[in-house]
């Protein structure tokens, strides 16, 4: 379905920078719906890749943004002062775990926030190594790419990145892990194995500055580790004076049914990274850390000209206000339990739905050839995604093999739209079960995990 826009884009934007799913051109967004040029509405069950926590173009965000735009777009915070960024720093300091003194650095994306967080941890500790986890994703700048387990060994950067200073240990994925342990049946066993590997890495390596962890792995395919695991990671970090860097780019701000994913485990990290949903749709990220860590960096104006952009900060403040006022963190927790149960029932009906898991409204549906073999099926996952799109639901894929459907609707999705998304998803699964989606429909899809 080539249009002038799709053809033009392909001639102008390099393919390594896109993961296109369908020839879909969204031109308008309201609530949980995107509209194409013909005015057809689609429920976006991914919240624009985890960005639109309270839906598209929320009126309160629009108002804040317009008020700011009318007065002054922004002026570099490197030179003078800017109230929205100070207000947001204060809010994030209060909202994040830990009663200690904190400071906040702003960026534009999860990647740049991770770059800053890791750079600060290297500098503060004076140590050069970082521990990360298998299948993790932390972004695509130099340091974040280097600690992203999911891209390692497959994208041709191995000789260039500082992998010699990064140690990858197994993230305890209960559904599939290198030990073949069923982590749902035996969470203790899986935790012990993963903790043992981490302890060994710390003991044998030395010089570790930080452990960087996603409290629920996102791009790995929404992987929730056993409860005790993250607590153990924090214990090991604490006992060895290693900083704990908590990557909340995807899990933060209520998505998992807690303000921060790591709060499910009662853990207080040294550094929290927030991005994606933070800017309410505008580019914004934040590194929230113990003051002394960020203050330790050399005073050479490490910042970016447009950091703490006033428009993005106003959008962020409005987003946080709406999440708080409307009790959306609790709503995510409660709805999450219900959706997991209902999608789990879908899993019982169709042999190629291998696993349904998640926390709050961060839910993954893993598609396999069949439940017995657990062989990942990227093809079937893409077919479900394609069929859902044709029926008016955007649901994309994640995971190293690109075989996990990502169900992450806005936290304020109206009940009837939630019902409609679940209904369409089931219809799409049935389309695939009954062979109604030809292979050719998905053969040109880029998609996550297509490298
Ligand atoms: C956990 C995590 N960290 C970092 C990033 C990178 O964020 P960005 O794409 O905004 O650079 C992502 C993006 O998916 C993410 O999920």
For the stretch 272-312, pLDDT in tens is 999 999 999 999 999 999 999 999 999 887 899 999 999 99
Nearest-CA residue for atom 4 of ligand 1: 138
Residue 93 has pLDDT above 70, yes or no: yes
Number of H helices and E strands in the chain, helices first, is 13, 15
Does residue 176 share a domain with residue 261? yes
CB contact at 8 A, 216 and 243: no
And the tokens for 357?
């898991």
SS3 sequence, 277-289?
HHHECECCEEEEE
CB of 109 sitting under 6 A from ligand 1: yes
Residue 87 has pLDDT above 70, yes or no: yes
**Residue 65 within any structural domain of the chain:** no
Please report where in the chains the tokens 């240990």 appear, as a residue: 169
**Residue 369 within any structural domain of the chain:** yes
Q: Is the pTM of this model over 0.95?
A: yes
Give the number of other Cβ atoms within 10 Å of residue 294's Cβ. 21
Does residue 14 share a domain with residue 104? no
- pLDDT tens by residue, 393-429: 999 999 999 999 999 999 999 999 999 999 999 999 9
CA distances in angstroms from 379 to 30, 85, 268, listed in the order given: 31, 44, 40
- Close Cβ partners of 208 (under 8 Å, ≥ 6 residues apart): 127, 129, 130, 131, 167, 201, 202, 240, 242
Residue 64 region by backbone torsions, left for phi larger than 0, else alpha for psi between -120 and 50, else beta: alpha
CA angle 388-382-355, nearest 5°?
90
Total domains, the chain: 2
Does residue 243 share a domain with residue 149? yes
Question: What does the CA dihedral 446, 25, 41, 34 come to, rounded to 10 degrees?
Answer: 80
**pLDDT reported for residue 15:** 87
Give the number of other Cβ atoms within 10 Å of residue 113's Cβ. 31
DSSP assignment of 113-166 equals HHHHHHHHHHHHHT--EEEEETT----SSHHHHHT-TTTTTTSS-TTTS-GGGE
CB contact at 8 A, 389 and 12: no
* Best residue among 213, 275, 282, 398 to mutate for probing ligand 1, ranked by most atoms within 8 Å of CB: 275
Q: Which domain-ending residue is among 264, 296, 325?
A: 325
CA 384 and chain centroid, separation: 21
Distance CA(176)–CA(185), nearest Å, equals 12
Residue 253 has pLDDT above 90, yes or no: yes
Question: What is the CA(433)–ligand 1 centre distance, in A?
Answer: 33
Question: What is the CA(73)–ligand 1 centre distance, in A?
Answer: 26
CA distances in angstroms from 293 to 101, 208, 243, listed in the order given: 11, 15, 9
CATH number, domain of 369, equals 3.90.1150.10
- Close Cβ partners of 390 (under 8 Å, ≥ 6 residues apart): none
CB of 84 sitting under 6 A from ligand 1: no
CATH number, domain of 271, equals 3.40.640.10
Does residue 387 share a domain with residue 320? no
**pLDDT reported for residue 5:** 86
Does residue 269 share a domain with residue 132? yes
**Residue 425 within any structural domain of the chain:** yes
- The bridge status of strand 129-133 relative to strand 33-36 is unpaired
3-class state of residue 244 by DSSP: strand
3-class state of residue 65 by DSSP: helix
CB of 31 sitting under 6 A from ligand 1: no
**Residue 62 within any structural domain of the chain:** no
Does residue 341 share a domain with residue 220? no
Question: What is the CA(250)–ligand 1 centre distance, in A?
Answer: 7
**Residue 447 within any structural domain of the chain:** no
Residue 134 has pLDDT above 80, yes or no: yes
**pLDDT reported for residue 398:** 97
**Residue 424 within any structural domain of the chain:** yes
35: part of which helix (H) or strand (E)? strand 33-36
Residue 361 belongs to what domain range?
4-57+327-442
CB contact at 8 A, 55 and 410: yes
Confidence of residue 1 (pLDDT cuts 50, 70, 90): low
Does residue 367 share a domain with residue 409? yes
**Residue 34 within any structural domain of the chain:** yes
CB of 46 sitting under 6 A from ligand 1: no
**Residue 296 within any structural domain of the chain:** yes
- pLDDT tens by residue, 141-195: 989 999 999 988 887 787 777 677 999 999 999 999 999 999 999 999 999 999 9
Does residue 401 share a domain with residue 283? no
The whole-number average pLDDT for the span 85-92 is 98
Does residue 150 share a domain with residue 276? yes
CB of 139 sitting under 6 A from ligand 1: yes
Query: What is the percent of the chain where pLDDT is above 90?
Result: 90
- Looking from the CA of residue 219, the nearest atom of ligand 1 is 16
Does residue 373 share a domain with residue 242? no
Question: What is the CA(119)–ligand 1 centre distance, in A?
Answer: 17
Q: Which domain-ending residue is among 306, 325, 344?
A: 325
Does residue 137 share a domain with residue 87? yes
The separation between the first and the last C-alpha atoms of the chain, rounded to the nearest angstrom, is 23
Q: Which domain-ending residue is among 325, 344, 373?
A: 325
Does residue 309 share a domain with residue 238? yes
- Looking from the CA of residue 275, the nearest atom of ligand 1 is 10
Residue 451 has pLDDT above 90, yes or no: no
The whole-number average pLDDT for the span 315-322 is 98
């Amino acid at each position: 379905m080539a249009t002038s826009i799709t053809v033009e884009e392909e001639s102008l934007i390099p393919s390594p920078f896109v993961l296109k799913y369908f020839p879909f051109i969204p031109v308008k967004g309201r609530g949980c719906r995107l509209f194409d040029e013909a005015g057809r509405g689609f429920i976006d069950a991914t919240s624009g890749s985890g960005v639109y926590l309270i839906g598209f173009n929320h009126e309160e965000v629009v108002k804040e943004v317009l008020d700011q735009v009318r007065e002054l777009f922004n002026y570099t915070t490197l030179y003078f002062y800017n109230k929205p960024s100070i207000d947001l720093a204060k809010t994030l300091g209060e909202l994040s775990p830990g009663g200690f003194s904190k400071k906040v650095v702003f960026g534009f994306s999860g990647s740049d926030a991770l770059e800053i967080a890791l750079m600060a941890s290297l500098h503060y500790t004076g140590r050069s190594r970082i521990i990360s986890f298998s299948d993790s994703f932390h972004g695509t700048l130099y340091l974040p790419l280097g600690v992203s387990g999911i891209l390692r060994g497959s994208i041709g950067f191995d000789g260039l990145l500082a992998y010699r200073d990064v140690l990858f240990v197994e993230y305890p994925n209960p559904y599939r892990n290198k030990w073949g342990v069923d982590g749902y049946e035996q969470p203790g066993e899986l935790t012990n194995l993963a903790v043992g590997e981490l302890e060994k890495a710390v003991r044998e390596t030395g010089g570790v500055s930080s452990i960087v962890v996603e409290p629920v792995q996102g791009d790995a395919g929404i992987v929730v580790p056993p409860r005790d695991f993250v607590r153990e990671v924090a214990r090991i970090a604490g006992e060895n004076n290693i900083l704990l860097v908590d990557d909340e780019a995807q899990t933060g701000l209520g998505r998992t049914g807690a303000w921060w994913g790591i709060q499910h485990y009662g853990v207080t990290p040294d550094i929290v990274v927030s991005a994606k949903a933070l800017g309410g749709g505008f580019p914004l990220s934040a590194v929230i850390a113990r003051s002394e860590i960020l203050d330790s960096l050399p005073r050479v104006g490490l910042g970016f000209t447009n950091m703490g952009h006033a428009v993005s900060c106003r959008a962020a403040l409005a987003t946080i206000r709406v999440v708080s006022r409307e009790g959306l963190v609790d709503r995510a927790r409660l709805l999450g339990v219900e959706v997991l149960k209902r999608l789990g029932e879908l899993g019982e009906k169709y042999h190629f739905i291998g696993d349904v898991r998640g926390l709050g409204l961060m839910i993954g549906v893993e598609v396999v050839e069949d439940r017995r073999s657990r062989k990942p099926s990227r093809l079937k996952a893409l077919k479900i995604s394609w069929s859902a799109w044709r029926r008016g639901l955007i649901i994309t894929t994640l995971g190293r093999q690109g075989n996990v459907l990502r169900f992450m609707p806005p936290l304020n999705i109206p009940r009837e739209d939630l019902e409609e998304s679940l209904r369409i998803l089931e219809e799409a699964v049935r389309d695939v079960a009954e062979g109604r989606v030809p292979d050719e429909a998905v053969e040109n899809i880029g998609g996550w995990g297509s490298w």
